[in-house]
Structure 1
């Protein structure tokens, strides 16, 4: 029988390989951190500032010292990234088929109910669960298309209730980039409904020129297209300049006779998109001034009869 001995260098190499394997030295993240530590050490020896080192390597001074300390105390195992898994995980709650079916039934019977309404009903029926659990079940049912979302249901049911689009023979949208460069280039016109007292209501017509800030107002008891046509005639008579374009909202008082009068006079008529009062901001602000500085001080018995221009 022949006995052989293992050399000291071979033994040390085996032990080092074992330690590297235990430290997960083949881990790409460990190798990357070790490379950065060596690079920072080389840059420090070349008298580079920490700001330059941070820009070049991508780690801060505190991170370098923390990694260096971990490497010294634990070896390569200290460079292994810590687990980001939360220490405390929420225990998964398994929903019972009865609860799932009941929530689905309630939602189909009441398509606009949210999680709170369904949770309150279930509590009265004896079910024990949190409101958030009901919300998670509703999300699960919506994801698997077993129920319809509230927003989808409302959009589907209101689709047929939308107002029919009115065909405007002359009015059009204001062209992009159109600006009022001279008096009369663009006049904003709008109406304001004001309640002055019990059974007392007026319609305040306002017009403002965007360039000169010329303002004209008239009060009526109603707002009709015929009265708007009369207000247009008054505006043309009182304005000290020719009017070339008018901008209005989609109100019915600015259709029919008013639109026909603009067409006959060759005045461009721009109509705003629905629900866009901000695009008529000048006349809206002027109406607020009338309301705050005039109508707040108004006494109903002393008010002059309607159809009076201001």
Structure 2
């Protein structure tokens, strides 16, 4: 029989491997930090500044010394990232089945109630809990699909009551990159509601050409698609150039007869997206000029401005100050 002994070097290597395993040396984060420490040490020996080292390695001077101290005191175990788990955690509160069932019942009977309404009802019934606890229970019930969220309930019950999208047979969005390169390429049209006094309200129709700044305005007592069609006829008659495209918002006065007239005349009709008045900025700014420089004037017969007849009021709308279009050309305004 032959006995063999394990050498001292083998035992030393086994203990070293055990210590490395206990220090979690195979952790990629530990190896990365050790690599950065060696790299910083090499850069410091080559007389690199700390600003250059921080840009190259990605760690600060304080971080280097903190890691170096931990490595010296604890070995590789000191390079292991510390846990960020909070020291004090909120202990889980176990809700009673009676409370869960009662909150679930109240929510199903009143699908739009929030935590405050349910908490107030429970307090009157003798339950002792906080409003936040009711909120956590509601979140638990929604997560496990035992109750429906308020948003989901409203979306489901009001789905048929929502405003349906209007079908525009001819109008479309303005193509991307479309520009007004000549007079008539794009005319912005809009309406403005003005209150002149008690029981006196007018609808101000405005149109402006983006290239020449030609402006036309008309006043009515209402804003309907039929009156908008008449304003379009006036615009075509007064404009000193052919009109090829018109841009309007989604108002009902620019549908029906107005849209049909644009289709029959071969005029492109561009409609703005919802809640985007800034895309009609030129006519919006012109309406502000009318509001500030014309409708603030005192007239001898204010009721005449609210006349219900179809047509414009001659002699009332005066052109504002002349504006200069592209190339320095002065544009002319036509108002009634």
103-112 or 13-22: bigger deviation: 13-22
The match for 2:95 is 95
Q: 1:58 to 1:254 in 2, by over 3 A?
A: closer
Deviation at 1:52, TM superposition (A): 3.8
* Aligned CA distance change for structure 1 residues 272 and 120 (closer, same or farther; 3 Å): same
Please state how far the C-alpha of 1:208 moved relative to its aligned partner: 1.5
Q: Cα distance 1:217–1:87, how it changes in 2: closer, same or farther (>3 A)?
A: same
User: CA deviation digits over 1:70-125, x for unaligned, max 9?
Assistant: 23334444333322111111222222222222222222222223333333333333
Distance change >3 Å, CA 11–CA 195, structure 1 → 2: same
Q: Tell me how far 1:246 sits from its aligned partner.
A: 1.1
SS at match of 2:145: coil
Residues 277-297 of structure 1 show CA distances to partners (whole Å, capped at 9, x for unaligned) of 33323223332333344435x
Q: Matched residues in 1 for 2:257 and 2:28: separation?
A: 79
Report the Cα distance in structure 2 between the residues aligned to 1:242 and 1:3, rounded to whole angstroms. 113
Unaligned runs of 5+ in 2: 297-329, 332-336
Once the two structures are TM-superposed, the CA of residue 185 in structure 1 deviates from its matched residue by: 0.9
Shift of 1:276: 3.5
Flag the 1:99–1:228 CA change in 2: closer, same or farther, 3 A: same
- CA offsets, 1:189-248, max 9 Å, x none? 111222333322211111111222222221111112221122112222322322111122
**TM-score (normalizing by structure 2):** 0.74
Q: Give the number of equivalent residue pairs.
A: 298
Deviation at 1:187, TM superposition (A): 1.0
What is the CA RMSD across the aligned residues, in angstroms?
Answer: 4.4
| Structure-2 separation of matches of 1:274 and 1:140 | 38
Question: Judging changes above 3 Å, is the alpha-carbon distance between structure 1 residues 263 and 29 closer, same or farther for their aligned structure 2 residues?
Answer: closer
Please give the alpha-carbon distance, in whole angstroms, between the structure 2 residues aligned to 1:242 and 1:85: 73
Secondary structure (helix, strand or coil) at the match of 1:188 reads strand
Matches of 2:168 and 2:4, distance apart in 1: 106
CA distance in 1 between partners of 2:218 and 2:50 (Å): 74
**Distance in 2 of aligned mates of 1:6 and 1:256:** 100
Q: 1:15 to 1:254 in 2, by over 3 A?
A: closer
Deviation at 1:186, TM superposition (A): 1.0
